[in-house]
Structures are given as structure tokens and as C-alpha cells.
Structure 1
Amino acid sequence: MTHKIAILGASGYTGAELVRLIALHPNMEIVALSGERKAGMRMTEVFPHLRHLDLPALCRIDEIDFSGIDLCFCALPHKTSQEVIRDLPRDLKIVDLSADFRLRDPADYEKWYGNPHAAVELQKEAVYGLTEFYRDQIRAARLVAGTGCNAATGQYALRPLISTGVIDLDDIILDLKCAVSGAGRSLKENLLHAELSEGYNPYAIGGTHRHLGEFDQEFSALAGRPVRVQFTPHLIPANRGILATVYVKGDARTIHDTLAAAYADEPFILTLPFGEAPSTHHVRGSNFCHVGVTADRIEGRAIVFAALDNLTKGSSGQALQNANLMLGEEETGGLMMPPLFP
């Protein structure tokens, strides 16, 4: 069976990544692509690297007939996404890549994103899209909320450790290095080559980054009590990739064994041998996440690492992984391509 797919916001980075991945899927066909500012243009004009594919032209959302579509990916900006999804057919399966349905409490959404939630009733049915930990719920879901790419990376490093209690929950320091594509395709002065290259800088410092809302929600639910991590992201002059370095208190060997056991049967999460650290080079363009653990020189402390591609495993690849479950396909469909190297 071939599933008919629509992608809203196909003129952005995550939209283009969805097209690239779905092109490899044996049972999916893209029948509609929206791009409000680029409506009427061919994808070849917007993304020449996709010129080998036979794709529909970009159109406005109100021009799409959703009656024959099996699943819709929404790769739209925050706030816009909830307003659009609110008006889509109620029987349409949806994977949303924005932040609009990630936080279960609408008050938390307003706190972190600065505006009231415009689709509270839909929020109640949304399932958090961290695939490895919400599989059963995702299979039965109509609306899945993709995670933040930083939030996914930090959770792959920490969730098994928090749920088993092998680390001190009151002393977690999470340091992330994030590639520039995570900021989207819009023109921004600080992302110009002359201002970004040859250096890197922290941003959203002092606990202001919006993905902290996801960390607070997910880690506290796992622990059964409030868990607040210290988190600082850094923007690096790279196109793709996130590397998390997490400083924790606990026995390093036990931490490594816990992660290895948790991910032993996961097709996309690979735990490296003890003492090895991952690199963004080794996951580039793939749906894989590499996790590593090493002991610190200070006894009783360990360093946990996680690396993934922010556009693939951190966003569009995760979205396709979830869509596979929602449509009854193999979870790995269209996603087993090896990383690009060098």
C-alpha cells in the first residue's frame, strides 16, 4: 500500500529533509507540498539538490485537498503550526515538527513561547514524539509532536539514567554544541557567514532556552519529582549536528552499562564502547544517535556524550520514524541510510 503524504512548510530545511528521506521510502508518495512565500515555485528552484525527484509544485495550504491524504507533516514555525493544525480535518494523521504541541500543560507553553496556546483541545490528544520512549502511544496517535532537536539529544543521554536512579538528579550539567541549521532558513544577521564562521558562542544563557520546558517536563515525569538540569547551548559554525556533553555524579561503568542495556535493541541509538566519545561527523545526514560514556578524573563523576544530526534524528528523521509507526510501516522505513563521511 502506498501512503499519500503532504508536507506543509516544505520550503524550509526540515521540509526539504523530509522530502529527501521520503524519496527513499518504498511505501510513501508525496502528493502535496506547501510553501506560502514560495507558492507556485517548483522544488527544483527552491532546493536544486532535489532536482532528480518528480515532485508537486509548492502551493498554499488552502489549495491542498486533504481528503485523499493519509498523513501530513507540518514543518511550520511555532504558533503558526497550531493555528493551521486546528483547521485541518480531524481524521487526518499529523506529525508536527514545531514546538506547538510538545508541552502538555498550556501554561508551560505560554511561559516558554510567550503566547497563549491556540489549540488547547488538540494539545490533550498530542503524543510526545521521542520515538524510542513513546512507541505504543505513537502507534495509536493521530497527532504526534516532534521534540526539539536539542531536547532529543539531551534526553538520549539522560533518560535511562534518570529513570534508573544511577546518577545524582540534583547535579546535572548539560552542555550542547549546535549547528546553524537548527536556527532555520530565515535570514538573521548573526547567522551571516562573516559573523558566525571562525568562532562559536553560547546563547539563551542562564536557563532561558525554550527546550528547558521539555527537559523539565520529561525528566520530572521520569523521576516522579522535579528535576532541573543546568543547560547551556552553543552555536557552532557547522551546517549540521548536535553534540551534548553531560556532566553527572555516579559510577561511570554503571552509567555505561545502563545506557548500553537501554539501547541494546534500538535500531538508531548506538552505545559506544566505554571510554569512547562520539562525533557529529559520524552521524551526519543519518537517523543515528551515538552515545558514549567516560569516567572523569574526579572519583564518582562521569561524562556522558550524545551526537546526532539535528535535521535528521533531531527533527525530520524522527518525524518519519513516528509516521512509520502511525501508518503501520516498518519503523526503519526510509531511514537506514548510512551517515555521510567525510
Structure 2
Amino acid sequence: MLIVVALGGNALLRRGEPMTAGNQRANIKRAASVLVELIGEGHSVVVTHGNGPQVGLLALQAAASPGDGTFPLDVLGAESAGMIGYVIEQELGNLLKHRLFATLLTQVKVNPNDPAFGHPTKPIGPVYDEATARRLAAERGWQIAPDGDKWRRVVPSPKPLVILEASVISFLVERGVIVICTGGGGVPVITRDDGSLCGVEAVIDKDLASSLLARELKADMLLMLTDVDAVYVDYGTAAARALRRVSPKELSGRTFPAGSMGPKVSAAIEFIEATGKSAAIGKLEDAVEIVRGECGTWFEASALFPRNLGLPARHR
């Protein structure tokens, strides 16, 4: 199968870990070994990845520079995609010396009138306690929102419409190249009145962009890997239940957090409704078992499988 594998930012940098180059590389090495297992099962993969922690750190570093060190988020997104993609490509290459790899900066067209620009939801950067987050928001003009039991800066996350390099990615995949692309959801761009492109101040959700990429590549599966073993209803409560196999109809009326699981569920539904194929969400270490259907949350177009919305936690 051709699988678009979306590595979550929290799969590449564990919650609570300092954002150091060493920690990032150690986690990417762990992710690379999982990807190699998938490839060893006979699958072709296209790798996408998040950048929320990294792009937020770059923004903080730029703001702390002497003089006018501020860079727009589209430029910082491209910088973080290159940084993370480089390490992913290198660690995969260390394990698969006979394969060809390409890390591709990816521009993704968005609507300049997307309502997301007026309602930021995408968390970036480090986590803070509430008091610190509110102080920084007041000092720097940030929008902030809860992220678990902590708080983070949030920025606009417009819907991805077109992946401009999709034909290049397809060309490489057809020739057996393992492509790392759409980093951080891709670099958000809009079309000016004269037809030229320019970047915008936003961070596209990686899972929604990965879903779009999977559709454009006619992939067989969309696999979203994070640090949570499944999608849960009533997450964080005593009544939490892991979802095992679901169809879009069975999720009708349910809501999931906009800054975390919500986009993943939306991405899965978009992919299967457009293609009739399957999508899955689960923990990085469980990737092979998820693809085999043994754990994680599977989204399928029909409900021909046994209805099972409420596994007691958990399949780990």
C-alpha cells in the first residue's frame, strides 16, 4: 500500500521535554525506526510531519534577536520544515542505505478570507502555566488557549486547498523515492490579483494537509501517528473510552478539541469520504499494528464491521 504517514509534533518531541536538538534527533530516530518497520512490511510511505513546538520556538528566538528580528510565520514554517525534514531524511537514510530520499518544501494554497484568520486555534511553541501564558499574551499581543493542563500560543490555521508541489511529489513516489514533505502542514500561500503567490501569517494543520496530500496522491491509507494510542470520547474523564472502528456517520454530533484531536478526526473523515479508503490514528510505536488493524482507531467509509465505539482504554 501507499501510505501517507503524518508524524505529529508530539510524536517528534514528547510532551514536557525541552526543545533541544538532541531531544529532537532522539525522537526522530525513534520515529525513523518505526517507519522502517512499515516499509519492511512492504508498504510505500510518504512522510509528513508537524512543527508546532519548533515553529513556536523559532518565533521566540526571532523575537529575542537584537533589532527587528521578527520573521513572518510562513518563513518560520519553511525554516522548521527544512530543519525537521533534514533530520528525518538523515535518520531514515542511516537505516535504509539502499533507498533514495527527498525532503521537499511544500507550498499549500489557502483562502485569504478563511474565517480561521479571525479565530486562531493552532497551538505553537512551548507550553506555559496559565499565569505565564496570560502575561506573555499581554506583552506580545498573542492569542492563547488551553492545551491539556497547560496553555500555549495559538495562531490562525486556514484550511488547505491545493498542494502546489503535489505533481512533483507524485513524480518522485512513482520512481521509488521516499519523500518527506508538507512539513508543518506546508507553507501557507495565497494568490494575489496578478496571479503571483505570497506567504501569509498562519500555520496550516498538518493532518488536514496530509489528508489533502493523500487524496491528491491517490494513497491507499492515511495514517496519523501521535503520542495517544487512540481517539477517545470523554477524554480526560473517568468515562473515557477508546474508539476502535468507526464510520463518519457514527461520529456525527461528536466534537473533539480544535487544537489537538479535532483536526485529526476531520482529516480522517475528509479522506475516507473522498476516496472510500481507510484512515487511522494511534500511537507512533504502534504503527505496524495499527496498519494491520490490531490497534489504534480506524475510520472506514461503511459500518460493515462490528459496531464498537467504546473499548475500555486501551490498545497499547
* TM-score normalized with structure 1 length: 0.28
The structure showing larger relative contact order (alpha-carbon pairs under 8 Å, at least 6 residues apart) is 2
Q: Which has the higher helix share?
A: 2
